[in-house]
Amino acid sequence: MSDFSSTRRTGLPRAVLRWLQSLDLTVSPRPFRRDFSNGYLIAEIFSWYYPEDIQMHSFQNGTSLAAKLSNWSQLGKFFAKRNLKPIRELIDGTIHCKPGAAEIFVQDIYTMLTNRRIKHIQDEEIDFSDHLYQNRLPMVARSTASTAIKANIKLTEIMVEPNINKNRQKVNAIINLHLQRRQLEREQYPERFNIKPTLGARAIRRPSAVSDSIINIQREKPVHISSGSAEIRGKTGVHFKTIEVKQAERCPFDVNLNEDTYVKGLPRRSEDMIS
């Protein structure tokens, strides 16, 4: 079992490697991505803990898609019987040989069977796309949209799920992620894409005089006008003068008019006025 001795080669923690060595598996997994994809080694690991539920003679150690689906179908029934709930994304990633999926799934099985926690696997988000890998590459070495589709969608995924709409959704998600990364590159390095700044970007931003005057007027104190002042000086130096207007005086004597003489201010008859 010398193949398990290199932590750097497998990408597994040392505690998980020692646990795999103690199981004494019949097949030593050299590339984890390929050897764990058919589910045979997964079944052998669980057979050490549940020998009455898993019979190894019913599993095939083959590389065909039919052998993979048969083995994982039996494992699915075993998980349901024992009320074990592995992450579905890990199983799909292991079946379709996604980068890092088998290693993460083995660590998940380790925590499931030994009740020991691995911090870096439980706290990280599961993502089997090449998004992080592409971000580490220089821009000239990053994949195009067609290459990203080929790298993130395996042929076995299309064979297992022949639904065109679901596969189209996967392709659209990969293209959208690729376009977002390209748009971010164009914003960060516009000179590489020969993007010329717009007229608004080249214009010098200066505060307008109207806004400054409005701010200055608001900051000044209000002018208090006294009631007794006859002359008011404005802020601009213009003089304003108050003009007093006198009202017409009332009649100094009171005229008493009888009701018989006037009706609504008009005489009744001319004879009455003469008399």
Q: Of 206 and 4, which is predicted with more confidence?
A: 206
Q: What is the pLDDT of residue 224?
A: 52
pLDDT at 88 exceeding the cut of 80: yes
Q: What is the pLDDT of residue 2?
A: 35
Q: pLDDT tens digits for 26-61?
A: 888 778 888 899 999 999 999 999 999 999 999 999
Cα separation, 232 vs 217, whole angstroms: 19
The string of DSSP letters for 99-129 reads TTHHHHHHHHHHHHHH----HHHHSSPP--S
The phi, psi pair for 241, rounded to 5°, reads -120, 130
Q: Do residues 5 and 17 lie in contact, with contact meaning Cβ atoms separated by under 8 Å?
A: yes
Q: Of 267 and 179, which is predicted with more confidence?
A: 179
Whether this prediction's pTM lies above 0.75 is answered by no
Cα separation, 39 vs 75, whole angstroms: 8
Radius of gyration of the chain (CA): 45
Which stretches does DSSP call E strand in the chain?
231-233, 239-241, 262-263, 266-267
The phi, psi pair for 85, rounded to 5°, reads -125, 75
pLDDT at 6 exceeding the cut of 50: no
Cα separation, 257 vs 275, whole angstroms: 15
Cα separation, 138 vs 81, whole angstroms: 48
Q: What is the pLDDT of residue 251?
A: 53
Lowest mean pLDDT among 69-78, 120-129, 201-210: 120-129
98 — pLDDT class (breaks 50, 70, 90): confident
Q: Pull the structure tokens for residue 216.
A: 């200055």
Q: How far apart are the first and last CA of the chain?
A: 148
Q: How many residues does the chain have?
A: 275
How many CB atoms sit inside 10 A of residue 87's CB? 12
